[in-house]
Structure 1
């Protein structure tokens, strides 16, 4: 009998013994609820928990992203659950270092008072601490859907739509591409200059690069008076205000410092979406990242093979980001689907 099968047989035998022992004690406890049977039953439950410990999530052995094994030092050094992707009023305070770094990304000459903007922001959108429910009862599956042309002809649509969370970004389209990219979206990550209208079932996740971006969000959901940042932007955006959230600048900097080691000027939206998923999900499947089979970096809805020129701008280090993504896949933290 092969060794893995032997181990499974031994584990099953042990489990049956524990269950039989527990049932006997349970029957005895019914007859003597205040006596020694009750104590034996408590001991049996504790023994069962120690022999068959529950993992950090409810997805099953070896399937929990946050589960760290002996050879996971690289992941363990980087994955810090004290950082939360979504901002709340309570979690909006920025250290001086984080504030300076964040304001440097798309430098404003005279930024508005950050505290006052935050106070107004959480009068417009919900002030909730989200996705802090990780534990052995939860098994949240997530699909991070990038915009790469490698999705064309992939037929991943049904697989993507089967996930609990489906995260898309920027100007991603589904209409006409459902067979390859799916039709459902639960979270759409964008910044003001890449904004699109959303249906009422989708959460808007704004990535702010400056205080003005927070002001734009307030405006886009109310007065519509901000129509220009460094580019023309949508005056109003169609989205359910109750589902709007903001990507935390502190988490933004954590991604840049810890996961990218300072490569590029700042992370791409796709990499920010990936780390959002890693910190809110128990299983993460990644689609539409990287080049297509011919080495082209373009969007699946475009015929322009010169798309993806951002890799040469120096703003994002696309190659480094993809190498980190591939390493996460190699370490079985995520599943990376590379398309047709």
Structure 2
């Protein structure tokens, strides 16, 4: 009679553990490494954290904005003086430009003063739409491309979205990239904050279809005769997000003199971008420090914390384009900060590192992005060039 072979349980356990470790190592080796020069970090957990979502949903600065708008609406604004220029100072000092001299909108003619009722109307409409509604992503094509087409007299319904779009950032990694021809091959080229292209066409291209700026840029342009703010030509549409409600006066004055469309990002879109970036900043903070997410506020000014112009320009392209290509985002030790300036560093009210994690999710797994995944919107293909 044959005796059955009995293997000790402890030996079986050791064999199982060894097999698991071997398989795990093989799986890790099969994951492709990030390309050289990539701004992306290692991916964070794909499952949105309920606590982080709750904290990111706290729109700390919104109530303050509402009070600010109420004050502007209720403020008694001056009547035009005879033959004189009048200045109206409506700007708080605690903003993006606090290190620069404060400036004012200068209303030069009686015609300029006629915009004041329109300014109040815009304020009321803007603050009324400042609410969380992620479905705005579905409306972006009509809000942006539709508005531009109608302004230019194009046939409505000809095409709801742009085919291919290039978002061109300002990073020094663009120098010696030779991306100019590739950038210009896109249907729409979006540039940021009036970055210079003259002398850099080989690397950044020469074509511009949409200029994306923050309202501080237009505020500076408003001090010029005719509100000239068109380094790419006065027929190129401009879209901007509002940094502070008083900048709507700049928009109101300048919009009457601009040939090309001058658009404002929908405040619902602003709020969506704000929540997304705050979530990724909170998540990265917890991953890197091991601290409770509630401690994030100790290292970030919640009222001033903001997404970058580049981040919102990319999200805008995602909303209005069938394919999105991104250039000039990311850093390199041997590259200038900006390709066209001598600026050394960015503003600390942005979390660029967290934004790069968001970009990786846009490329690889957009379905996990908190708030965006609740919009019912399908993210198009996104590619980053380095």
TM class, shorter-length:
0.5 to 0.7
Written as runs of structure 1 = structure 2, the 5 A alignment for 1:58-137 is 101=62, 104=65, 110-112=71-73, 117=119, 119=121, 129-131=143-145
Which residue does the alignment assign to 1:298?
337
Report the CA distance shift for 1:307/1:112 in structure 2 as closer, same or farther (over 3 A). Answer: farther
Render the CA deviation track for 1:55-111: whole Å, top value 9, x for unaligned: xxxxxxxxxxxxxxxxxx9699xxxxxxxxxxxxxxxxxxxx979628549967933
RMSD: 4.0
CA distance in 2, matches of 1:75, 1:156: 36
Report the CA distance shift for 1:134/1:337 in structure 2 as closer, same or farther (over 3 A). Answer: farther
Question: TM-score of the superposition, structure 1-length normalised?
Answer: 0.55
Larger RCO: 1 or 2 (CA < 8 Å, sep 6+)? 2
Deviation for aligned residue 1:249? 1.4
Deviation for aligned residue 1:194? 2.3
Residue 143 (1) aligns with residue 166 (2): yes
1:112–1:211 Cα contact (<8 Å) kept: no
Residue 252 (1) aligns with residue 270 (2): yes
CA distance in 1, matches of 2:306, 2:61: 14
Deviation for aligned residue 1:221? 3.6
Report the CA distance shift for 1:297/1:325 in structure 2 as closer, same or farther (over 3 A). Answer: farther
2:168–2:189 Cα contact (<8 Å) kept: yes
**Per the alignment, in what secondary structure is the counterpart of residue 246 of structure 2?**
helix
Report the CA distance shift for 1:135/1:216 in structure 2 as closer, same or farther (over 3 A). Answer: closer
Question: TM-score of the superposition, structure 2-length normalised?
Answer: 0.49
Equivalent position to 2:179, from 133, 136, 156 = 156
Equivalent position to 1:177, from 200, 217, 222 = 200
Which residue does the alignment assign to 2:323?
283
Which residue does the alignment assign to 1:235?
none
Deviation for aligned residue 1:336? 0.4
The unaligned stretches of length 5 or more in structure 2 are 1-44, 49-57, 75-115, 125-141, 147-155, 222-228, 282-299, 367-380
1:187–1:205 Cα contact (<8 Å) kept: yes
**Per the alignment, in what secondary structure is the counterpart of residue 141 of structure 1?**
strand
Report the CA distance shift for 1:239/1:145 in structure 2 as closer, same or farther (over 3 A). Answer: farther
